[in-house]
Amino acid sequence: MTVGPVRHFLQKTTTFEPIEVPSLSIIRQLKIESENDHKYKLNDNLVAKNKGIDTPDGNLTSMFGPHLITKMESVLIHEQGFIYGDIVYRALEYATEDVSFTTSHQTSAFTTTTEMGPTSMLTDTTEITTTPGTTVTQTTQFKKRRKKRSIKNILSETDRKQIDQFISNLPDASLLDLPCPFTSTVCNETAKYRTIDGSCNNLEHPYWGKSFTPFDRFLKAEYQDASQSPRILSKLTGNALEGPREISNFVHTTSTLADIDPAISSYMMTFGQFLDHDITKTALAKGAYPFNLDCCNTNRPNNSDCFPFTIPGDDPYHRDILQSNRRCMNFVRSVAACDLGCNLGYREQINELTHYIDGSSVYGSTVEELDALKDPTDNGMMLVSMDDKLPLDDSDTLSCTSDADKTCFRAGDVRANTQPALSSLHTIWVREHNRIAQHFKNSPECYNWTGQQIFEETRRYVAAEIQHVTYNEFLPKLLSVEIREQFGLVPLLDGHFTGYDSTVRPMIRNSFSSAAYRMGHSLIRDKFAFPSSAFDLHVHLNKPDLLYEPSGIERCTRGMYENPAQTIDEKMTREITWKLFETIAGNGGDLAAFNIQRGRDHGLPSYTTWLHWCTNKTVQNDNFNPGVEGGLFYHSAAAATKLGRAYSYTCDIELFPGGISEEPLPGSRLGPTFTCILALQFRALKYGDRFFYEGNTPLNPHPFTPQELEGFRPITMAKIICENTNIEQIPRDVFLEPSESNPLVNCSDLPDICFPKNGGWSDWKDSCCSNCCTRQQYRSCDNPPPNECGKPCEGYDFRYKSTCHYGGGCCHYGGDHHDGH
């Protein structure tokens, strides 16, 4: 089948009365209100810190994981981004004071909340806007009393279009003296290598794909208040949605041995997680930096960055098994940001990493991160610790919860310690960098290279390997050949890719990072396989101690590719739905519930909206029937029943539970909705990357040559593991479980990178006959001889140099003569 975004240009245009935008002076006052409220929030954070309510990164924070570590750059963006979004909300609230929205109940979408009390608004001009379209002029300053309102009902599609137009008519943020965190930057168009922060990949849009920039969107956000508040109400009735924990219990039931996918190995999960940590890290809001908000503490002042959810009274783990009184699961909203254009608009979220597949999980996404990981002697190598492990995190032991005598590791991404197999893969890629760098250092062709040139060329190769493994080995296990060909995701067998398009937005989409790519969570097994042992997974989350065991990296790696993964479906192991980052029984989290809540936090449209966008199929609001038109067409009876328990109407099904529970397409492991989102995202990452490894565009001053491409096209993840561990035998494809069709092979039998050696001519050699000598010169293409991916010499391999007379014999006269090669 064909999937992709279905364009609905021919839909009937909705007509509505526009909402008049408040005057600039009024919006300036709304900005002042917002800034003052924000100051109160910051002060409350300090109080919570001083009272010990909020806790720092590390073991003192319940459910602590490295995902909670947020950089100061994101915190500063948040302080600005919150103001951007809050001004939009306040302006809309002000403008709609006397405007009725056409909601599903034909009543105002807003209602007065008297218990909140009035707030004062002071303007410093002589202009008063009383109702939209009416202006009264006074000669003195004035105060206007206005009432705070809260959302009472959901917004109709007409409401949202009204609000879209309203937002597009808001004044330029620069007129409000709002700082823009995404200022212009100067690019060097002749630079041979990627920048470390991803900037200037697109020369027309230097900030596209840069670290610390917003996620992009395929579809507009659908917030509860249309601009920034998480969706918590039914789209149809306005009743409260079920809580994330309840939905997790209903839909994301326990995966067991009966749900194994015998074809693919658990290395799919490990590499998929590594790849995720190369392209996405959502920045989370903080209390008083770097303290973490404890949103479940009843003594904590209210905070708009808090979004906790309830643990139900009949919870199968917390109530039935533990008989615990825990009723709240902590959850913090993502950092707020404006869009890249610094416009007043919908709340966006920040990606702390470069958006490109570029090895940032190895090298970092800022110059400062890279400087802390490179060998300071400028020899082109990366830092390692004893036994060729990752450098130790001596400066910040809070990035994991390792035993006291086993220090956490440092890598390009702060989540490198999340689980031992991931830490092992990070180690393998750092070793791969140093292996290639050592080759360049030993190569006669590179004798005059500087340490920086060796480093950049090596980084270029490592990024290319990661891209090649992604498109050549990883994606084929998720998407069918038909889909990959349709979206241009199949690597070439020879030659260059010439499809780079500077208008393609390469940024990671919110729906990809917050829902679709989280499909990998269902691959996870309940046991962490460590040859000769097996541990409950949660015991080793955020704890890389196993790497310190004898042959720890090899054993962690083998444990992944020697064992199958779970099937990609709605089922998930209790190790992550009951015990995520659990250190004491009952204090852990629920990853499925977090995925649902994150989708609400980010304003992701519902599953049925995405299904219609991708396939043009429409689902009736009350039709949970599986496999039928107008119902849950791509769901099994079991999955449809689960969704029917969790949601009253199909239009309320959220993207993560709805998409991951679809039946897979033929030849694929994903249903049409997640297939659509993943295929579009990986297409954008290819077609929008000026430095994509197969690419050859005039805008890239240093593409790989055809010989270089030929040299590493045979490389596989298996060979990269072999070259950087003591493993001697390995399946040819580590993403598939070992089998008769995927047997163990000797590492030496797998092709390595072929670094092209172009042939060079030897010196000329004379050859004369005895009587009449015509000087002939010969040479051979053996200095050096070309290797299998190099070029042979071009030109003549012998020539008649000159004619000489000896005695009375006859000779040929004339100049130089050449014969062919």
**Torsion sign (Cα): 605, 608, 614, 618:** negative
Longest CA span, the chain: 125
Inter-axis angle of helices 552-561 and 267-279, to 10 degrees? 110
The single-letter DSSP state of residue 427 is: H
Short-list 278, 308, 279, 312, CA closest to 296: 308
User: Which secondary structure element, helix H or strand E, spans residue 262, and what is its range?
Assistant: strand 260-265
Cα distance between residue 388 and residue 410, in whole Å: 13
The single-letter DSSP state of residue 130 is: -
Annotated binding residues: 521
CA distances from 119 to 113, 128, 144 (A): 12, 16, 9
Cα distance between residue 25 and residue 123, in whole Å: 7
The single-letter DSSP state of residue 647 is: -
538 included as an active-site residue: no
Number of helices (H), then strands (E), belonging to the chain: the values are 20, 20
Take residue 802 and report the two structure tokens written for it.
Answer: 């000159």
Specify the amino acid at residue 190: T
Tell me which residue has tokens 């990606």: 351
Short-list 721, 781, 801, CA closest to 557: 721
CB atoms near residue 805 (< 10 Å): 11
Cα distance between residue 552 and residue 409, in whole Å: 14
Annotated binding residues for heme b: 521
Take residue 462 and report the two structure tokens written for it.
Answer: 């490592």
Cα distance between residue 81 and residue 17, in whole Å: 29
Take residue 455 and report the two structure tokens written for it.
Answer: 């480093």
Tell me which residue has tokens 């994150």: 598
Helices marked H in 397-529? 420-442, 451-469, 481-486, 510-514
CB atoms near residue 340 (< 10 Å): 19
**Cis status of the peptide bond prior to 308, with omega within 30 of 0:** no
DSSP, collapsed to helix, strand or coil, labels residue 135 as: strand
Decide if 272 contacts 474 (C-beta within 8 A).
yes
Cα distance between residue 723 and residue 472, in whole Å: 19
Q: Per the residue annotation, which of 67, 78, 205, 277 is the catalytic one?
A: 277
Cα distance between residue 593 and residue 599, in whole Å: 10
CA distances from 496 to 695, 704, 758 (A): 6, 9, 19
Cα distance between residue 495 and residue 498, in whole Å: 9
Burial tier of 246 (Cβ tally within 10 Å: 0-12, 13-18, 19+): buried
Beta bridge partners of 216: 509
Which string of b and e fits 124-157 if b means at least 16 CB within 10 Å?
A: eeeebbeebeeeeeeeeeeeeeeeebebbbbbbe
**Cis status of the peptide bond prior to 66, with omega within 30 of 0:** no
Q: Which residues are catalytic?
A: 277
